[in-house]
């Protein structure tokens, strides 16, 4: 044992250290870490309030001037463009209450369609696929054809088993034949997983899609025709993940988060590949019409979908405003699961793997990821360099 001295009653005593006292420094370290975490959480709380207040203000100085919020010309020559709507409908089997709910969703979405302008509805065909309860074919036909008219109501197929890929395949084939057209994609979200959150998102998306400003999505066929075939895309995404894990070098090809398999929605894997598909091309030039800055992605900021909810106006009583994306600063999307896969270098690596090319020189990508993103003290994960610490330089790629 190592002797030590301590003062007590002004006399110096010498004793041997008890074995238990050796643990005290370890306990002290644990207490220090606990206190540090508490302080960081307090800082995080104040920072969150600051970020939230800044997001709610119109003045967002973190966004470069080149991509500041702007109102676009809604007309812009689109009135004479041939358009088509592709509608993916799922009706559950063997459960009458779920069937009725799914049909109510179709009726709800068609009410948005019926309230749309002539530009959205006149001579614009609706091509729809019915998946699940094929006995509901007549009910679905009556709903859609009553709104669109018999000449603009076209059943693509009915099948008991399938997914969104069936409708996206038809959309893709249409665009391969009609390069100058414009397509809109819609599905009765919430029929498979009923929830108030899905209701909120569905209403926001449906209102967007049937506004003159459109969203959720609407795309030009000249863009869609160059995408990977939708039925091949999921496999391609899996191959890309495997490639990045084989390389194991973020400098060459950024890797996903170690728990990517439990977050397929973040990486466009499995059934979520159909949602990732339309935005996967490097020539993407996206727009948005939902004007609430508090909403970023997913369900956050949409309310709970309840008509009596205080935030229900976020998904009902809002006016579409067409804006170029991105119009919210990058730090507004910070998440603990961020790795370079989610950042500029990751996006560029994915574009190159999927399509063999980088974005055009005028792409928003170059400006948006041209500075590092690392939100200090947001939580303990930020201490481990989560975020987008490595900026990209266009001159290194083009």
- pLDDT (tens digit per residue) in 16-29: 444 444 455 545 45
Query: Which residue has 């939708």 as its token pair?
Result: 230
pLDDT (0 to 100) of residue 24: 52
Question: How far is it, in rounded angstroms, from Cα 129 to Cα 170?
Answer: 9
Question: How far is it, in rounded angstroms, from Cα 243 to Cα 266?
Answer: 18
3-class state of residue 376 by DSSP = coil
Positions of the chain with pLDDT under 50: 1-22, 26, 28, 30-78, 312
- pLDDT (tens digit per residue) in 95-145: 899 999 999 999 999 998 988 888 788 889 999 999 999 999 999 999 999
Q: Kindly report the CA angle at 94 between 90 and 95, in degrees rounded to 5? A: 80
Q: Where are the domains of the chain?
A: 18-56
Please state, in angstroms and as integers, the Cα–Cα distance from residue 382 to each residue in 35, 279, 372, following that order.
17, 28, 13
Residue 208, Cα to own-chain centre: how many angstroms?
15
Nearest CA to 240 out of 285, 184, 194, 280 is that of 280
pLDDT (0 to 100) of residue 241: 96
pLDDT (0 to 100) of residue 31: 44
Confirm whether pTM is higher than 0.85: no
3-class state of residue 85 by DSSP = strand
Q: Residue 266: CB partners within 8 Å, gap ≥ 6?
A: 257, 260, 337, 342
Contact 94, 122 (CB under 8 A): no
């Amino acid at each position: 044992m190592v002797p030590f001295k301590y003062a007590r009653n002004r006399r110096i005593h010498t004793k041997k250290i008890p074995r238990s006292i050796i643990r005290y420094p370890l306990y002290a370290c644990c207490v220090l870490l606990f206190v540090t975490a508490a302080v960081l959480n307090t800082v995080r709380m104040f920072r969150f309030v600051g970020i939230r207040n800044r997001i709610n203000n119109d003045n967002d100085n973190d966004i470069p001037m080149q991509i500041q919020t702007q109102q676009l010309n809604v007309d812009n020559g689109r009135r004479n463009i041939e358009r088509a709507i592709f509608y993916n409908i799922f009706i559950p089997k063997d459960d009458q209450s779920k069937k009725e709910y799914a049909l109510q969703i179709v009726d709800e979405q068609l009410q948005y369609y019926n309230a749309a302008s002539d530009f959205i509805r006149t001579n614009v065909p609706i091509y729809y696929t019915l998946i699940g309860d094929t006995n509901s074919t007549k009910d679905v036909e009556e709903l859609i054809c009553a709104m669109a008219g018999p000449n603009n109501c076209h059943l693509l197929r009915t099948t008991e088993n399938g997914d969104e890929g069936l409708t996206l395949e038809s959309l893709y084939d249409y665009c391969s034949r009609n390069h100058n057209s414009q397509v809109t994609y819609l599905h009765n979200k919430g029929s498979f997983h009923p929830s108030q959150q899905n209701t909120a998102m569905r209403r926001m998306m449906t209102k967007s899609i049937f506004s003159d400003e459109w969203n959720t999505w609407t795309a030009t066929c000249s863009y869609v025709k160059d995408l990977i075939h939708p039925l091949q895309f999921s496999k391609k995404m899996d191959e890309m993940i495997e490639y990045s894990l084989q390389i194991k070098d973020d400098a060459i090809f950024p890797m996903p988060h170690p728990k990517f398999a439990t977050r397929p929605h973040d990486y466009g894997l499995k059934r979520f590949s159909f949602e990732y598909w339309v935005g996967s091309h490097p020539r993407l030039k996206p727009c948005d019409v939902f004007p609430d800055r508090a909403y970023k992605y997913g369900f956050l900021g949409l309310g709970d979908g309840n008509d009596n909810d205080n935030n229900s106006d976020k998904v009902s009583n809002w006016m579409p405003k067409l804006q170029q994306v991105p119009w919210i600063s990058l730090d507004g999307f910070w998440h603990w699961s961020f790795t370079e896969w989610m950042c500029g270098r990751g996006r560029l690596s994915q574009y190159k793997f999927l399509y063999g090319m980088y974005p055009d020189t005028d792409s928003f990508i170059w400006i948006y990821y041209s500075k590092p993103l690392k939100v200090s003290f947001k939580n303990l994960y930020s201490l481990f360099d989560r975020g987008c610490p490595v900026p990209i330089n266009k001159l290194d790629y083009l």
